[in-house]
Structure 1
Amino acid sequence: MEEQIKQTAKRLRGLREVLDIDAADAAQTCGISTEDYLEFESGKIDIPVSILYKIAHKYGIELTVLLTGEDPHMHRYAVTRKNSGAGAERTSAYKYQALAQSFINRKGQPFIVTCEPKPDSTTVHLNTHSGQEFNFILEGRMTFFINNKEIILEEGDSVYFDSGQPHGMLALDDKQCRFLAIIL
């Protein structure tokens, strides 16, 4: 995972340099301090997908490029076989598997997300990003946090929400929770 974080940071820094974007401007796009943004570019700490999404959206590039370094190329359809989507282990708590990384100009970003249990913690990191998001629980249970509300979601449940609102997830029952997430 450490090498993946370094490579993502390198792509993020390279994008900013190629587009001649000041670090302060990139930080403002992300809604964070310049110091925090430069920490992400350093490759020493993980970069939340919400930050990568904001950068990709603002500067008109595919999120896949920042996550994997590969350009999408399919125009009509893209097939992702079981367990073969580009993986991105963004934090120890969440693992993302991209489901449409080869389709160019996507309107949405579909992922299978695995939320690992944190038995000794009830602290949840809340994210925000532009747009809307749909989550459908495939396996397990989780508490979904949004705007100071806690909602228990079980297999077969779904939630659709304004992803500009602070939101986060916590797997329940000391088991992982897997869900389909589509970011629009």
Structure 2
Amino acid sequence: MDEQLKQIGERLRGLRDVLDLTAEEVAETCGIDVDVYEKIERGEVDITISKLMKIARKYGVSAEELMFAEAPRMKSYFVVRKGQGMSVERTKAYKYQSLASGFVNHDAEVFIVTVEPKPEAHKIYKNTHPGQEFNLVLEGSMDLFIGDKTIRLEEGDSIYFDSGKPHGMLAVGNKAVKFLAFVVEK
């Protein structure tokens, strides 16, 4: 069991306990089956960033508190030095480095996302969340799947899209892709 997934699950369980919520209520917030949610709390199943953001928004906490156990504190500005942002490796294939985690009440989630290459037969998991997303490829290349479209993005390419549409990504070739993800929820 991945230690970071286990810790996120423990924080979710703690939030539920503090707010006197049932697993069913939180699962409904995420739009997932309660059995899957309970596996997330046990650290047996990964949870997407967008589902963490839904929980955070609904219950008045920051997504960073759920991911990193740290609350934002800065109100005027927040600097992240190269390679120093708080990060979580949700699975062996995806690593998220937060660039806005220390700023109180930030209006957008900003991450550097690293996606490791997967075998061609790998199923692409598509996710949705309200709002819009901007991605800028920093290194490598990826296929971005939005609805039934596949868009190849190379280093330096960017895309802005409706994140309410099912979307997912896949690193192309045998090199990881690293991209800036800027998520603005409505």
Count of equivalent residues: 184
TM-score of the pair, normalised by structure 1: 0.95
* Separation (CA, whole Å) in 2 of partners of 1:15 and 1:133: 27
The letter for the 2-side match of 1:135 is N
Structure 1 runs of 4+ off > 6 angstroms? Answer: none
Q: Report the Cα distance in structure 2 between the residues aligned to 1:80 and 1:113, rounded to whole angstroms.
A: 15
Name which of structure 1's ranges 163-172 and 40-49 shifts more when overlaid on structure 2. Answer: 40-49
Report the alpha carbon displacement of residue 64 of structure 1 after superposing the two structures with TM: 0.5
Question: 1:86–1:99: 8 Å Cα contact kept in structure 2?
Answer: yes
| Alpha-carbon distance, 1:120 to partner | 4.5
- 2:45 partner letter: I
Output aligned runs, 1:11-22, within 5 Å. 11-22=11-22
User: In the alignment, what sits opposite 2:105?
Assistant: 105
**Aligned mates of 1:121, 1:96 — CA distance in 2:** 24
**C-alpha distance after superposition, 1:113-155 (max 9, x if no partner):** 0011013434211111222111111111100001111011111
Secondary structure at the residue paired with 1:88?
strand
Distance in 1 (alpha carbons) for counterparts of 2:145 and 2:120: 18
CA distance in 1 between partners of 2:24 and 2:71 (Å):
27
Deviation at 1:37, TM superposition (A): 0.9
- The alignment's TM-score, normalised by the length of structure 2, stands at 0.94
Identity %: 54
Structure 2: how far apart are the matches of 1:127 and 1:8? 19
Spell out, residue by residue over 1:2-26, the C-alpha distance to the aligned partner (whole angstroms, 9 max, x if none).
1111111000111111112221111
Q: CA deviation at 1:104?
A: 0.6
Partner Cα distance (1:15, 1:129) in 2? 21
Q: C-alpha offsets along residues 59-113 of structure 1, whole Å, 9 cap, x if unaligned?
A: 1211100010011100000000000001110122211001121111000010000
Q: Report the Cα distance in structure 1 between the residues aligned to 2:151 and 2:104, rounded to whole angstroms.
A: 34
Cα distance in 2, alignment partners of residues 10 and 47 from structure 1:
13
Q: Conserved in 2, the CA contact under 8 Å of 1:49 and 1:90?
A: no
Which residue does 1:139 correspond to in 2? 139
Q: Could you list the runs of 5+ residues in structure 2 that have no partner in the other structure?
A: none
